[in-house]
Structure 1
């Protein structure tokens, strides 16, 4: 591993990796009534995150991500406010994806876009999606996107963690992904949908 310090990245994605591990084993693990056993140690979570990240980086399929549209809820933002916001969230990123034994998808990705205020936003995240075929080569997905976000209007660009719902529709090779930012208190209003196009390159 020379291109990324995956151990440091994995430490920041511990929660999402733990979510993935639970999602993949909850139907195969025997019942356990010991409440304390539901909470793995930090060391176990960290090692799981390292393994997950390294496996995705080494063995995942490479895709490019093209960002181009952000929808701002008109019930949350006035017409005058929406006129000042950036709906053209142009950006670019890369992703590595794998399918598990149940044909659900997990990935790691990094993406840089123009945010709602025309400022740079950088996302580094892990995603897990439950996939469902809908006919032909088409499928839909729903899951979570968990990782770090850097924005100039929040914490002066210091990366902060977040977990957001995400959805997708398309084929294995080409799909539109949507990430929803719910309404938040304070100056960050939320109720925003980010749309990206993901295309496999190998």
Structure 2
């Protein structure tokens, strides 16, 4: 348990390091736009605390003995930055660490883009996507693995709740992952 807490603290400290200005216009086509979005969010964004909470394994795709052995309380957290990009939409960059299905540390570093619609007062609902790399011991020995996933969100003032679904096959993937961001 102490190793898990130490790993999350190390990840959070890494995010707190000062950023160096990045020149994006000389990057390859396509990567220059991605660089601009990420560096813009890093330099102009507002901080947020991320807390992970739940990883529901789809009962229709898992055997009961696997479900019974998995951890679904994906406790952990991280830090990130987000910034508005017009029409109430936003983009974010983040780094999170949490306990995976086997109670081992898993880490994500990513970018997210959300489109929001007003519901009532400060309550807003959104849809978007997130992509980046994750590091997981169970299947990949902490090698970086890229991901792109759909994301849904509900936002109320400075509190944000997100859900994403990790697709997969029989006894693999097919996980609904829930997490929150608290803006400061």
TM-score (norm 2): 0.82
Whether 1:199 aligns to 2:176 is no
Give 1:22-171 correspondences, 5 Å limit: 43-171=28-156
Q: Deviations over 1:60-102 (max 9, x none)?
A: 1111001121111111112321110011100111121111122
Computing the radius of gyration from Cα coordinates, the structure with the larger value is: 1
Shift in Å, 1:156: 1.5
Q: Distance in 1 between matches of 2:21 and 2:98?
A: 23
Specify the SS of the correspondent of 1:123. strand
1:70–1:189 Cα change, 3 Å: same
Shift in Å, 1:155: 2.5
**Structure with greater strand share of residues:** 2
**Structure with greater helix share of residues:** 1
Aligned residue in 2 for 1:19: none
Shift in Å, 1:5: 6.8
Given that 1:131 and 1:139 are in contact with CA atoms closer than 8 Å, whether structure 2 keeps it comes out as yes
Q: Structure 1 unaligned runs (5+)?
A: 11-40
Give 1:1-20 correspondences, 5 Å limit: 3=18
Q: Distance in 2 between matches of 1:75 and 1:198?
A: 29
Shift in Å, 1:6: 7.8
1:124–1:5 Cα change, 3 Å: farther
Q: Distance in 2 between matches of 1:3 and 1:90?
A: 27
Given that 2:83 and 2:92 are in contact with CA atoms closer than 8 Å, whether structure 1 keeps it comes out as yes
Q: Distance in 2 between matches of 1:100 and 1:129?
A: 10
Q: Structure 2 unaligned runs (5+)?
A: 1-16
CA RMSD of aligned residues (A): 2.3
TM-score (norm 1): 0.76
Specify the SS of the correspondent of 1:103. coil
Given that 2:61 and 2:169 are in contact with CA atoms closer than 8 Å, whether structure 1 keeps it comes out as no
Q: Distance in 2 between matches of 1:123 and 1:197?
A: 14
Specify the SS of the correspondent of 2:30. helix
